[in-house]
Amino acid sequence: MRILVTGGAGFIGSHVVAALAGAGHEPVVLDTRPPHDRAGAGGNAERITCDVRDAEAVEAALGGVGAVCHQAAMVGLSPDFDDAPAYVGVNDLGTAVLLAAMARAGVGDLVLAGSMVVYGEGRYTCPRHGDVSPGPRRPAELDAGRFEPPCPECGAAVEPGAVSEDAATDPRSVYAATKLAQEHLAAAWARSTGGRAIALRYHNVYGPGMPRDTPYAGVASFFRSALARGEAPAVFEDGRQRRDFVHVRDIAGANTAALGALADREDGTLRAYNAGSGTPHTVGETAEELSRAHGGPSPRVTGEYRLGDVRHITASSRRLMEESDWRPRVGFAEGMAEFAAAPPGAASAPAG
């Protein structure tokens, strides 16, 4: 099948392109990066250089296409609210332009790159009140080094667990709000056109080609960049924040599996799936693993924090594994060792 991959020259998108080609599909890369930009090679796939907000160019790119993998996005936690119009423009307007073009072109299958950030904090259990949803952490508590969110009912300590797709959404940053809006737009498109959509809620993706030297990169990239400079990775808070680090090749495989699963979806619907490794690790453990693989120096815990960060967010990817043939295959130690040794990705603009 001929498949359009928006953002197909980026970090995740280029791996998706490779996985699709390996599965016998014909991927077509649509990206703002010109063909000579090696930020994401995309193999020998056909390349179309345009912005996903260019309606005429996007509609032309959809000729002969059977499905779309929508990866193009402005990603990460911005250090400045002034970036809000850019996030909304790229992520939400870009998605709306793409979906309208798909409706005109009669392309009815979509795999959307979603994000675990739509949940806000992850799943927590209070011994007294059961499952609870802590609100945003207060600066005064963070300044005092009290990083764990308490039970919102009684203030007791709560136990973090794996979040499922049925959890309530609670976006706590501009980026998170735009990622949830993308899902709502895709659901509205599916209902209106009879299309079929899957949103893969990526957890913390890492691996070869990950961008470096940008405030929009993930924490694993920050740690590796520090090690490359001979510096100790700076671990925020107390390092005990729990995350689900999933290798980029596993995420690429999830996209291929999702395309296969679309055939079983009811027309006019969107189905969300978590895409994570299923094995939580702390941010401190990640820094230590990368330092070990790189040969030091050891991480340092700073106690600093970013107000938009959540404390714990880890995934249950059971739904995706039960409803497709996908399984995460790259182990944490193996993946981090590969990532530590891989050539760094290019410094990149925030739009994928």
33-82 tens-digit pLDDT:
876 554 445 568 899 999 999 999 999 999 999 999 999 999 887 778 89
Q: What pLDDT shows up at residue 22?
A: 96
**pLDDT over 70 percentage in the chain:** 93
Q: Which residue in this structure is represented by tokens 């055939």?
A: 263
Q: Which two tokens stand for residue 229?
A: 């400079």
Rounded (10°) angle between helices 248-262 and 11-22: 60
Q: What pLDDT shows up at residue 346?
A: 54
Q: Which two tokens stand for residue 22?
A: 């390996």
**pLDDT over 90 percentage in the chain:** 81
Higher-confidence position of 346 and 217: 217
Phi and psi at residue 60, to the nearest 5°: -65, -35
Distance CA(316)–CA(280), nearest Å, equals: 10
- pLDDT beyond 70 at 217: no
In this structure, the dihedral spanned by the alpha carbons of residues 285, 160, 310 and 216, taken in order and rounded to 10 degrees, is 40
Q: Which residues pair with 110 in a beta bridge?
A: 68, 197
Q: What is the pLDDT of residues 331-347, one digit of tens each?
A: 999 999 999 998 766 54
- pLDDT beyond 60 at 253: yes
Distance CA(94)–CA(347), nearest Å, equals: 23
In this structure, the dihedral spanned by the alpha carbons of residues 326, 327, 329 and 335, taken in order and rounded to 10 degrees, is 90
Query: What pLDDT band is residue 175 in, cutting at 50, 70 and 90?
Result: very high
Question: Own/partner pairs for 259-266, CB < 8 Å, 24+ apart?
Answer: 259/1, 259/3, 259/20, 259/25, 259/67, 259/69, 259/109, 259/111, 260/324, 260/325, 261/198, 261/323, 261/324, 262/67, 262/109, 262/111, 262/196, 262/198, 264/323, 265/196, 265/197, 265/198, 266/196
- Which of 148, 103, 119 shows the shortest CA–CA distance to 238? 148
Higher-confidence position of 346 and 103: 103
Q: What pLDDT shows up at residue 61?
A: 97
Single-letter code of the amino acid located at 193: T
- Least confident stretch, 96-100, 160-164, 216-220, 281-285: 216-220
Mean pLDDT of the chain: 92
Q: Which two tokens stand for residue 334?
A: 């193996």
Annotated domain spans of the chain: 2-122+163-347
Q: What pLDDT shows up at residue 342?
A: 86
Residues 6+ away with beta carbon under 8 Å from 130: none
Mean pLDDT of 296-314: 92
Q: What pLDDT shows up at residue 59?
A: 97
- What is 2-122+163-347's CATH topology? Rossmann fold (3.40.50)
> Do the beta carbons of residue 242 and residue 312 sit within 8 Å?
yes
- For 332: left if phi > 0, alpha if psi spans -120 to 50, otherwise beta; the answer is alpha
* Per-residue DSSP letter, 139: H
Q: pTM for the whole thing? A: 0.92
Query: What pLDDT band is residue 213 in, cutting at 50, 70 and 90?
Result: low
Q: What pLDDT shows up at residue 252?
A: 98
Question: Residue 124 belongs to what H/E stretch?
Answer: strand 123-126
> Do the beta carbons of residue 314 and residue 274 sit within 8 Å?
no
Question: Residue 101 belongs to what H/E stretch?
Answer: helix 94-105
- pLDDT beyond 90 at 212: no
- pLDDT beyond 80 at 308: no
Query: What pLDDT band is residue 121 in, cutting at 50, 70 and 90?
Result: confident
- Which of 186, 338, 167 shows the shortest CA–CA distance to 262? 186
Higher-confidence position of 76 and 88: 88
- pLDDT beyond 80 at 245: yes
